Structure 1
Amino acid sequence: MNSIGIKYCGNKSLDDLKITSESNANYLGFIFANGKRKISPSDLEAWLKDVNVASKTLVGVFVNGTIEEIANVLSFVPLSIIQCHGSESVQEVVELKVAFNKKVWKVIHHKEDAINLMKEFDGIADGYVIDSKVGKQWGGSGIAFDWSFIPQYVNEARRQQVPCFIAGGINKDNIRQLLSYDIDGIDVSSGIELENVKNKEIITIIEEQVKQK
């Protein structure tokens, strides 16, 4: 396992999954919310028959997903973590934990007072992903937030004794800068793609930087 957790998100094809399954990632993410990387649970079920992901933790990404919607996905694929990427309330996250008895990660979209929202999930969220929100996009914009705020988020997560992953605009050109911060993990999607396809060479460059950390 890496001392810094690696999550590769937005796997949207069998080819993507084959590439990330052979990587050093700890977590593989799949998006079940509307967007260009949305996949169907039945497709993922089929891909998982062809790819060995035994060493990976599977994360399902939902935006304000209902219990019924998430239950349907879980009937096809064995997700270990539910990632709430929308405006889910504390109560809604609690209901998901009760309904499915799985870990729930909460995405916090960076803004000046976002740390206060993070504090509301103390004792509820099993982990955090800090991401940028651009326009109506909940994520996947390829745009980074102001990383000078990272220490605040990481310190709050450690106070809560849960991991804090950084997402949004991470790529092979800025990964070294990001790793200069004391972070728990990275969550990368578009930053490991070339022409919208996961790319083994880019993944290798990023993982070499993580290894040197």
Structure 2
Amino acid sequence: MTAATGVKVCGLKNTEIINQLHGLAISEVGFVLAPSRRQVTPEQAGELLRAVRLLRSDKGEPVQAVGVVVNAPLDELKAVLAAAPLDVLQLHGDETPEFCNAVKQLGVKVWKVFSLSAGDSGDNVITGNSSVSSESGGTPGPLALLAPYKGSIDGVLIDTAGGGTGRPFDWRNIPAYREAAHELGLPLYVAGGLHAGNVEDLLGFKPDGVDVSSSVETDGVKDIVKIRAFVERVKES
């Protein structure tokens, strides 16, 4: 793993697992604040955040806390940050550049998610909950898609549509998104169907970070053995 490669473990729900992440090569942990079986309330996220603030990566660096939200109104996000002063809000819906900029004014970093359907070769790009059809050549390329968000976000994450599905999209899309993100001065994280058995192949596409959730669970609960195996596989690649 290069120094630039981040690892985010998403969907955490209990302090015990968070405590066991200390010393691992993890850069971010994520709390799902949107409707999901992994959802936590802002108050619960605030309690979990106390444990996160004690975490250090394998390099002794603080671990950032990310809150995942979908089309949440600004007032709701203000309330979230009052209960849980997160480092990053990950916007997983149809948020506009103007809205993302307003969120940044709350004093938090903003990551915007752009989703691709499972197995998508790029013919249909999905942003938030809306599909942009390629009929009559209308699909925007990654740079055209991301460019309006320049200055309004701090990071880009591409994921399989629906999020938390455990299914990958076509990774051949990654280089174009990485190039577009870097042209705008933004890091690119990749999520969707990642696990210890395939992440080494993904890293060949050189994303800036990877985001894992469902594959490091056993019966729907985060499994520290699986988390460690994933992180070690990334670190060794």
| Pair in the same fold by TM > 0.5 | yes
Separation in structure 1 between the aligned mates of residue 153 and residue 80 of structure 2, nearest angstrom: 21
Please tell me whether residue 119 in structure 1 is matched to residue 158 in structure 2.
Answer: no
Contact 2:104 2:153 in 1 (8 A): no
Deviation string, structure 1 residues 134-192 (Cα, Å, up to 9, x no partner): xxx3x111111110110001011110111100001101111111111111000111121
Q: Note closer, same or farther for the CA distance 1:36–1:2 as it changes in structure 2 (3 Å cut).
A: farther
Separation in structure 2 between the aligned mates of residue 42 and residue 61 of structure 1, nearest angstrom: 14
Q: Secondary structure at the match of 2:39?
A: coil
The answer for the alignment partner of 2:12 in structure 1 is: 11
Please tell me whether residue 168 in structure 1 is matched to residue 192 in structure 2.
Answer: yes
Contact 1:81 1:102 in 2 (8 A): yes
Structure (1 or 2) with the larger CA radius of gyration: 2
The answer for the alignment partner of 2:55 in structure 1 is: 53
1:79 Cα deviation from its structure 2 partner? 0.5
The answer for the alignment partner of 1:101 in structure 2 is: 107
Deviation string, structure 1 residues 41-87 (Cα, Å, up to 9, x no partner): 21222334456236211111110111111111111212011110111
Separation in structure 2 between the aligned mates of residue 127 and residue 50 of structure 1, nearest angstrom: 24
RMSD over aligned Cα, in angstroms? 1.9
Separation in structure 2 between the aligned mates of residue 22 and residue 39 of structure 1, nearest angstrom: 25
1:15 Cα deviation from its structure 2 partner? 3.3
Q: Note closer, same or farther for the CA distance 1:50–1:58 as it changes in structure 2 (3 Å cut).
A: closer
Amino acid at match of 1:13: N
Contact 2:98 2:152 in 1 (8 A): no
Percent identity, aligned pairs only, is 33
Q: Which moved more, 1:114-123 or 1:162-171?
A: 114-123
Amino acid at match of 1:56: V
Separation in structure 2 between the aligned mates of residue 101 and residue 44 of structure 1, nearest angstrom: 18
Tell me, which stretches of 5 or more residues in structure 2 are unaligned?
Answer: 57-61, 117-123, 126-138
The answer for the alignment partner of 1:39 in structure 2 is: 40
1:22 Cα deviation from its structure 2 partner? 5.1
Separation in structure 2 between the aligned mates of residue 188 and residue 19 of structure 1, nearest angstrom: 16
Contact 1:127 1:164 in 2 (8 A): yes
The answer for the alignment partner of 1:80 in structure 2 is: 87
Q: Secondary structure at the match of 1:86?
A: coil
Separation in structure 2 between the aligned mates of residue 124 and residue 184 of structure 1, nearest angstrom: 19
Normalising by structure 2, report the TM-score. 0.81
Deviation string, structure 1 residues 96-148 (Cα, Å, up to 9, x no partner): 112x0221110011244462322221232210110111xxx3x1111111101
Amino acid at match of 1:30: F
